[in-house]
Amino acid sequence: MTTAILEVQDLRVSFGGIHALDGASFAIEGGKTTGLIGPNGAGKTTLFNAISGFLLEIVLTEAGQALLPEAASTGSLRIATVMKAGRGGRRLVPSAPAARIDKSLVKALAWARDLRWRLERGKSLNELAREDRCSRPYVSSLIRLAYLAPDVTRAIVNGSQPAQLTLADLMSRDVPLDWAEQRRSFGFF
């Protein structure tokens, strides 16, 4: 019998009201190659970021836990982070100083990815606006954020984007489709 080298049980990650992961559970056995597949916006990167401690702040429910073999008896996960107990569950806190994270921008990115996911599954912009109780022009402006270059998105989530790159700035201008042009336009170089 092969022992699991990583087991994740009921992992939940939310960005504002958007549930990026909702009850993810799996075990990876030693000596085997394991893959993770899914459509864009399904939560693959969020899963890896949560397990590795890359997310600067994630909330796990009381039931949610990620277990490494040596930590299985305690039910805790410690990867360059500190676990703190608090209302609503446990919170992973970075051991390094936090970057300047624009929470409203990160929430808008998560919302934009959710809008894109629903649009790709057949919803119209009008339906999205009605479901999210906002105007169609706002949905049209917001959804553009789902097409940012991966490194631009990563910088925003990490808080390492240029200081002038704010949600108001992004919503007030066109987002180039070309990723190199996005980097130039948004001040990455």
Report pLDDT digits (tens) over 3-52: 777 777 777 777 666 777 888 888 877 777 788 888 888 888 888 777 76
Q: Which of 99, 47, 58 is nearest to 82 (CA)?
A: 58
Query: 5-21 in b/e burial notation, b at 16+ Cβ within 10 A?
Result: ebbbbbbbbebeeeebb
Tell me the sheet residues that pair with 66.
8
pLDDT of 80 over the 50 cut: no
What is the Cα–Cα distance from 2 to 19, expressed in whole angstroms? Answer: 32
The whole-number pLDDT of residue 55 equals 53
In tens, the pLDDT along 53-77 reads 555 333 333 334 443 333 333 433 3
* Cβ-based neighbours of 55, under 8 Å, separated by 6 or more: 13, 46, 49, 92
* Alpha-carbon Rg for the chain in angstroms: 18
In tens, the pLDDT along 88-134 reads 554 444 444 445 788 889 889 999 999 999 999 999 999 999 999 99
pLDDT of 140 over the 70 cut: yes
Domains parsed from the chain with CATH numbers: 4-94 (3.40.50.300), 103-185 (no CATH)
Share of the chain above pLDDT 90, in %: 30
The whole-number pLDDT of residue 68 equals 38
The whole-number pLDDT of residue 54 equals 53
The whole-number pLDDT of residue 119 equals 92
